[in-house]
Amino acid sequence: MSSVNKVSIEATCTTPFPVAPLAAGSAEGPSVLFVDQSGQLGGAELSLLPLVTMLATRREVLLLTDGPFRQRLESMDVTVHLTIDDRVARINKDAVHLSWLFALPGIVRQIQAIARHARRFDILFLNTQKALVLGALGKPLHRRKIVWHLRDIMSPDHFGPLQRLVVKWATRYAVDYIVANSHATAAALADLIKCDPSAVPVVYNGVDAGEFDQVDDQRTKEVRRLLNLADDTRLVGLFGRIAPWKGQHVAIDALAQIPGLHLVLVGSALFGEQAYEKSLREQAVRLGIEDRVHFAGFQDDMPQWMRAVDMVLHTSTVAEPFGRVIIEGMAAGRPVIAAAAGGVVEILQHHENGWLVSPGDATALAEAIEALYADPGLAQRLAAKGLINVKRDFSLNAYIAQMNKVIRGIEY
């Protein structure tokens, strides 16, 4: 399913993104500086984690904000550097406006810091967009080959014109290699930079299904006890950071349509969406279902929490770039009901290995949940197929092997 092929370069595409055959570098491969804008444990960071430890013998990480991601990396013996600027950190996709002007001194400092560190390595691996822009702007200073791991859908639904313009510039003039996390993200970028989508290599995220196999009944019962629920209470789960576009409000609306069902929201407002979290609690009270909506906060043990629910929901209201929680739900052996847009439809096929609904449609979501409770045989078939597919198409080993091929293929 994943395609890391030698790319064809269209005449209209000014930037080729090759995945070359193995370069004749040193036996241990190139040294890599990884840069990520976030210190939080979001999907982009959790997905980078195994790459940092597995792709290069000499590697360090530079973060633009501090947080549990740094601690996680350091616990794995990875050297982490921080270059933090509050004003740059405040520039986000909702508040780009002119905030970058005030942040200019900080931007310059971070560009210089990235370049200074990058000069000690063969390759600069940019994870997330702020890292891309700052790493790209500093290219005349560091002159290192740049790899960008694209994890966002660069469409007007997700990003403003200024952000799209800057990314277009950076991609065209500074990025040497690119890896997209789905064909959806590859296609949106290709559209932005006027390039054939096949010129953007895709590597899907992977998970270790073995970690999910190891969860026994005792551990899932622990979760139920924490939530004060009986072992046979009907419980569905929505996993991921709390953010308006992740659509937790859609799941709460669906829950209100199904008497007796409980919903656990696992995740926290990682990037300042506390007002949205408050609105979710108010929504549950307004609908009179606050005793059936459980806010579990951020949890480290995803296998344990996922195996404690009957079904895994995914409710993003705009196209999800990839959606690690979906492959994790499949690895947990649970039927996954997901919003059909973006990378999701590359993972799930309706009534084959999961159930797809229109994004934002709470009634369709409620109907899907009821249908699967009404037909346990179908629920079981979808979950079993999902588990087979995740082991075959979205394994951690395949992800690392394909990314390794990308890194080893770089001529530096």
Of 47, 155, 268, 389, the one binding ligand GLC by CB under 6 A: 47
**Dist. CA 11–CA 382, nearest whole Å:** 43
Output the residue with the shortest Cβ distance to ligand UDP: 43
* 148 sits near ligand GLC (criterion: CB under 6 A): no
Residue 181 touches which member of ligand UDP, ligand GLC, none, C-beta under 5-8 Å by kind? ligand GLC
Residue 395 touches which member of ligand GLC, ligand UDP, none, C-beta under 5-8 Å by kind? none
E strand segments, 142-233: 145-150, 177-180
**Dist. CA 100–CA 256, nearest whole Å:** 42
Nearer to ligand UDP, 302 or 341 (CB): 302
Instruction: Show the CA angle centred on residue 180, arms to residues 205 and 245, nearest 5°.
Output: 75
Instruction: Give the tokens for residue 193.
Output: 């930079």
Nearer to ligand UDP, 41 or 80 (CB): 41
* 151 sits near ligand GLC (criterion: CB under 6 A): yes
The interface mask with ligand UDP, positions 197-226, x = CB under 6 A, is ------------------------------
> Per DSSP, what are the bridge partners of residue 238?
265, 313
Residue 240 touches which member of ligand GLC, ligand UDP, none, C-beta under 5-8 Å by kind? ligand UDP
Residue 298 touches which member of ligand GLC, ligand UDP, none, C-beta under 5-8 Å by kind? ligand UDP
Closest listed residue to residue 202, CA positions, set 347, 63, 69: 347
Nearer to ligand GLC, 255 or 325 (CB): 325
Stretch that binds ligand UDP, among 69-77, 119-127, 222-230, 235-243 (CB under 6 A): 235-243
Of 321, 335, 359, 386, the one binding ligand GLC by CB under 6 A: 321
* 323 sits near ligand UDP (criterion: CB under 6 A): yes
Of 39, 201, 240, 359, the one binding ligand UDP by CB under 6 A: 240
Residue 348 touches which member of ligand UDP, ligand GLC, none, C-beta under 5-8 Å by kind? none
Quote the least distance from Cβ 337 to ligand UDP, whole Å: 15
Of 322, 355, 394, 399, the one binding ligand GLC by CB under 6 A: 322
Of 303, 323, 329, 359, the one binding ligand GLC by CB under 6 A: 323
* 138 sits near ligand GLC (criterion: CB under 6 A): no
CA–CA distances in Å: residue 77 to residues 54, 137, 263, 318: 12, 30, 37, 37
**Dist. CA 381–CA 400, nearest whole Å:** 29
Of 2, 163, 205, 353, the one binding ligand GLC by CB under 6 A: 205
Q: Where are the alpha helices (DSSP H) in 26-137?
A: 43-55, 68-74, 86-90, 99-102, 104-118, 129-137
**Dist. CA 44–CA 181, nearest whole Å:** 10
Stretch that binds ligand UDP, among 38-46, 61-69, 163-171, 361-369 (CB under 6 A): 38-46
**Dist. CA 118–CA 232, nearest whole Å:** 54
Q: Which residues contact 313 (CB under 8 A, 6 or more apart)?
A: 236, 237, 238, 251, 263, 336, 337, 338, 365, 369
- What's the farthest any 2 CA atoms get from each other in the chain? 65
Stretch that binds ligand GLC, among 43-51, 114-122, 226-234, 306-314 (CB under 6 A): 43-51
**Dist. CA 354–CA 347, nearest whole Å:** 9
Instruction: Give the tokens for residue 338.
Output: 């997901």
Residue 211 in contact with residue 52, Cβ under 8 Å?
Answer: no
Q: Is the dihedral of CA 241, 247, 249, 255 positive or negative?
A: negative
Of 4, 9, 23, 46, the one binding ligand UDP by CB under 6 A: 46
Nearer to ligand GLC, 126 or 379 (CB): 126
Quote the least distance from Cβ 34 to ligand GLC, whole Å: 14
Which amino acid would we find at residue 6? Answer: K
DSSP H/E element including 226: helix 217-226
**Dist. CA 108–CA 253, nearest whole Å:** 45
Chain residues binding ligand UDP by CB under 6 A are 41-44, 46, 239-241, 266-267, 298-299, 302, 322-325, 328
Chain residues binding ligand GLC by CB under 6 A are 42-44, 47, 151, 181, 205, 320-324
